[in-house]
Amino acid sequence: MIYAALGVPEVDVSKWRLRIDGLVQRPVEFTYQQLQQMEQTRYSRPFSCVTKWSIREVEWEGVQIRRLAKEAVPDDESRWVMFHCADGYKTPVPSSDTLSEDAIVALKINGLPLTREQGFPARPFIPNLYGWKSAKWLIRVEFMREYRDGYWEMYGYHERGNIWEEERFKGGTGTHSRRKSIGTIW
């Protein structure tokens, strides 16, 4: 099952742009073609859902987010990044995770371009974070000083969502009484 919290949007790749802005010195935009022409990072990492299932050996390919952010020059006071999507979905991620070596704007899964249902044309992927942070149909990366809730965070999901720390829900780790099932985000 493919999950879309707010529906699957139509994205015209000829008009699509990825904007990096917010607390940066120089807002920038990239076309899909520009992203495809940049140096690609490829690795095999599992995709882990907050509901405790994973897909192992997924091959991810895309551009390092820190490489893209370098052109925008994020302010030293930026502590959070909000990923904004074409369907209105958004999710916050700490800047430290967003700018890690393995954090990418994924363009391909298992050697093939993302399908529309998987988030074509682009989605972030940060291996140490749960799948709801891998927001589909990415259109904007906003650097921020302060934390703001995104779609699932306003329902009690954890601010960061680190897999290894089992950061599923606000106020603790592991299972939590405010849990709301989100289904499959893949």
CATH number of 18-155: 3.90.420.10
Task: Please state, in angstroms and rounded to a whole number, the distance separating the CA atoms of residues 57 and 9.
Answer: 27
pTM: 0.82
The domain ranges of the chain are: 18-155
- Per-residue pLDDT of the chain (186 residues), as tens digits, is 455 566 566 888 999 999 999 999 999 999 999 999 999 999 876 555 545 544 568 788 999 999 999 999 999 999 999 999 999 999 999 999 999 999 999 999 999 999 988 889 999 999 988 777 888 999 999 999 999 998 877 877 767 666 666 666 677 544 433 333 333 333
Report how far apart, in Å, the C-alpha atoms of 106 and of each of 37, 51, 75, 100, 146 are.
13, 22, 24, 14, 26
ω into 74 cis (within 30 of 0): no
Task: Please state, in angstroms and rounded to a whole number, the distance separating the CA atoms of residues 70 and 128.
Answer: 22
